[in-house]
Amino acid sequence: MEGRRLLRLLFLLFATVLLLLFTLLNFPYPPSNTAELLDCTTYSPWCTSKNRFQSKKPDLVKNPSYPTRHHHAADVPHHPLDPLTIQEFNKVRSILKSYALLENKPYALHSVVLEEPEKSVVLKWQKGDPLPPRKASVVARAEGVSHVLTVDIDTSEVTGGHEMHLSGYPPMSMEDMTSATVAPLANADFNRTIIERGIDLVDLACLPISSGWFGKTDEKRRLIKVQCYSTKDTANFYMRPIEGLTVLLDLDTKEVVEITDEGRNIPIPKAANTDYRYSSQSTHQKLKLLNPISIEQPKGPSFTIEDEHIVKWANWEFHLKPDPRAGVIISRAMVRDPETKELRNVMYKGLTSELFVPYMDPTDAWYFKTYMDAGEYGFGLQAMPLEPLNDCPRNAYYMDGVFPSADGTPYVRSNMICVYESYAGDIGWRHSECPITGMEIREVRPKVTLVVRMAASVANYDYIMDWVFQTDGVIRIKVGLSGILMVKGTPYMNMDEVNQQENLYGTLLSENVIGVIHDHYITFYLDLDVDGSNNSFVKVNLERQRTKPGESPRRSYLKAERNVAKTEKDAQVKLGLYDPSEFHVINPSKKTRVGNPVGYKVVPGGTAASLLSHDDPPQKRGAFTNNQIWVTPYNETEQWAGGLFVYQNQGEDNLAVWSERDRPIENKDIVLWYTLGFHHIPCQEDFPIMPTVSSSFDLKPVNFFESNPILGIPPNVENDLPNCNAAASV
């Protein structure tokens, strides 16, 4: 009886915590240290109480320091690509309740998003035209079967409903994840094991860990693994693993299938020095290294948000929306030509397609940690409210996400995305003439960019995703990694105790704590439409040429050889320092004044390639990382690099499989896929929380413009800038 009473109390406590978390995560965070920022004596809409947008629409941009709650109940769509509204979610929910396939039986909705109209329809649509029919794409599970449905919101018609015969399951719902973490508490053997490990049940925190796929034993059941930690004396429970204890759980029935406990000889690491919260740091740990800094805009911001989702800034215009799986979707990105003044198409759609995170420890409690963060957990579902002044600067606009719960009831993820202008002292272009010419020329232009940001906390790890737009036509996609390492408990307290022949699978970070080696691969879907939909992929190889005897004092030089990819296999690219190339997407039917085809090129930044064996089950599922670049013909069903259903799939429906069809891609509507990679060998500086590490790649104009598109932008002038004085308060 005492055990049952304790269990009931635990469930009540958990429900209370969940409710508090939900409330906090959906309420705008208060600003931090606003009083330390600047009071501008020259009028600035960001540091006075005046109208924040002057002539621009003040209702379109929220107060950056105090983001206000947007009441979404009255939202209506204005654009064919606008996400579903609360009213539309509620109607879909009502329609599905009476749909024959789901009626009078328990079911869960794992995805409800806008079913986007056909691309040709969207491209023809102009503001003022009637919207195409609004439809919802739904993935529902009932009685252990996954169904893909289309709901016509206007007519209430439901089509589809066919059972998916590929392996795998849809992304977990938030209810799946939360219920999985408490389900083991209903098992007496689990509770006994926890107590025998010296852990009080009230100090227990558990995580739902996707199980991957490793053979026939994983088939026909939706499984998840649960591992737990001690929260005693620290908020950073990730640093206190109950090592070797793993619960295998049936995600549908919540039945405990198996409990494995192989770490009884491994102590739980101590809580000392693990808490990362500023309020928990001692006086001697707190650092005051910098004076406050803030970007001020005396004439107001240079961007507007029209109809909630159309971003207009400088020479750019694009559609922006949150998504539960991708996080952020950028659509219809167009740049204005400085000569013709017309908007020109650059990208129809760009998004984060999948994140593959394999850990490099083959032991029993770790081998399955090979996460697909978008297809298993929902990258957008893990987005946290951004904190003003720290996640985003004071001049930021915030956009909410509206997503459905498992029963279809919509909820709001407040401040999920921020949009802001950034100036970091970078230079757009410059030239100073040498004194020997006698020409006193010093011409410099500042580089100001527009940043679209989302941050997702996928349990311990935090991803900062930036889409950065530049006035020179460049789009930079940047990924930052921060958060907390997933660590392994160990009996070792010092490296002197470790046998040199022993493989720790990582780095000893602190006493009894190993940071396990792992990789991160972020694959992006980039439907480039350079001046139109029909494009070609060109690999421009730099090849060494030898001069002929007597031709030149030089013995060698480099020549650019252009090779147009005919089919998909021609466009599969592994990057290499000793195979230097450029990767162009061109429109062969559009040429510049001097005859070059207009185009954009992918400019890789620092990246990493997967070294796992191709026959390793995780790499079969993550085969989209076998190359850094792929090019496929546009197909609206091919958007997720790991396949539509990633959870426990066997890798038979992913980007690598599609590309093996070797379809024609020359002068076609094509999609480019790029994978940004990180190898992470943890170090002590990553403990107890990691400083952000970043990498990026660019989409850059190549013969797209007739000349430098920002030749005519003015330099900064002192009188245009605010005169700011330090103030005790704003």
Catalytic residue numbers? 373, 461
Instruction: Give residues with Cβ within 8 angstroms of 717, minimum separation 6.
Output: none
Q: Is 611 helix (H, G, I), strand (E, B) or coil?
A: coil
Q: Strand (E) positions, 79-196?
A: 107-114, 135-142, 145-152, 158-163
Distance CA 3, CA 527 (A): 57
Amino acid at 659: S
Helix (H) or strand (E) segment spanning residue 729: none
Distance CA 678, CA 697 (A): 13
Distance CA 389, CA 37 (A): 10
Phi first, then psi: what are they for 330, rounded to 5°?
Answer: -105, 125
Q: What is the DSSP string of 420-479?
A: EEE--S-EEEEEE--GGGT---EEEEE--EEEEEEEEEETTEEEEEEEEEETTS-EEEEE
Per the listing, tokens 């005519």 go with 712
What is the DSSP code (8-state) at residue 567? B
- 204-239: b or e for each residue (b if 16 or more CB lie within 10 Å)? bebbbbbbbbeeeebeebbbbbbbbbbbeebebbbb
What is the DSSP code (8-state) at residue 377? I
Helix and strand numbers, DSSP H then E, in the chain: 7, 34
- 711-720: b or e for each residue (b if 16 or more CB lie within 10 Å)? eebeeeeeee
List 316's β-bridge partners, or say none.
313, 335
List 584's β-bridge partners, or say none.
538, 601
Phi first, then psi: what are they for 277, rounded to 5°?
Answer: -70, 140
Q: By C-alpha distance, which of 630, 628, 626 is closest to 565?
A: 630
Distance CA 536, CA 18 (A): 50
Q: What is the DSSP string of 488-552?
A: EE-S-SSGGGS-TT---SEEEEETTEEEEPEEEEEEEEEEE-TTSSEEEEEEEEEEEEEPPTTT-
Distance of CA 406 to the CA centre of its chain: 22
Instruction: Give residues with Cβ within 8 angstroms of 204, minimum separation 6.
Output: 185, 194, 228, 229, 230, 231
